[in-house]
Structure 1
Amino acid sequence: MWIKNYVQIYLKKILTISIIGLFCNEFIAQTETKTNPKKFKSTFNQQKEFEVYANYGFFKTYKNTLSFYNNKMGISFTAGHTVQGLTLSSKLPDIQLMTEIVLTYDVKSNIQIYALGKYVDRPINNSGESQSYMNPLFEQSEFGMGIKASIDDLEFDIGPKLILDTRSLNSNNSFRINTKISKKF
């Protein structure tokens, strides 16, 4: 129970910072210090992701990300919200707050290892009941790590992930091996 309270407190703090970032986007967008290559540089960006699964469902994610990085290492803090739902559902799409942290290390210029932690809160509408609960196609609370590699126009991402059951804390967690292959056009 204390973990949930702890996460909620920090989620509120991160969301407050992200809302301030929304209003200051023109001022902060892509600020970067270029002094010593051993020092960390920082960036702030906003991103919208949209994914549709034909005849099944969709999700839209709005993210505000603050990143610190140097030549080899990086850390990113993300806060935002997601709107996701099922096609044949009679309910309105779920609106959920989310926060994420990602640690990266560049082994080579085309190989990167990473670790991530993501928390997606219960929907703020639909009486707190999620339509896409514990479904890996949609945004879920999770811990994971992996390796990303790029060869020519192909990008590979593989690693273990643990989808967290935020309703009953650790009773129904789902482990999976995440594999993603994409081609640039």
Structure 2
Amino acid sequence: MSETDGLRERKKRQMYARLSDTAIALFLERGFEQVTVADVAAAVEVSKPTLFRYFPAKEDLVLHRLADHEGEAGRVVAGRPAGLSPIEALRRHFFDGLDRYDPVTGLNDRPEVLAFQRLLHGTPSLVARLYAYQERDEAVLAGVLGGPGGGVRARLAAGQIIAVRRVLAQENWRRIAAGRTADSLKQEAVDIAEEGFAQLAAALPHLAQK
């Protein structure tokens, strides 16, 4: 990649971030339905067509916050060390996230994270978009587990894995939203995650073996 291409790519990433961050701030302030795409474009001083070149749908402005995690399960399995089973690689990755209080695990009580979670899970169109995002995660993971196309067995396994990760994160988020702190919930989150991955190992023994 040339220096010019690198600069262009960096500016593109910066624009993605500006649009997304500005939109989320407006959505949190006024409500998702009360803010239009034109409002976001005006706040960043770009045209609507320019905004739509970056984000085809209004909901994508919010989901961009999760873009770095899309396809993550597949990457973890594909990049695991030799001798480590897919389930164990995913278990270690999730536990590393808990240790870092990564918002994607649901174990994070920072006010701005809680506000984003309320926006995401409290807006029907965002919830629907989130499911589409999770389906893409399943497809990537199935492809890693079963080769191109995945196959039914790989797709079934990927669906179970993504579901467990989703339920664990949602349970942490719900308990924190009910008033728990991340620190006080940490050990319970670890225990529940151990149970979740143990169930996965029992249900998918061929993916739990080294």
Q: Which has the larger radius of gyration?
A: 2
Same fold (TM over 0.5): no
> How does the TM-score come out when normalised to structure 1?
0.29
Larger RCO, structure (CA 8 Å, separation 6 or more) = 2
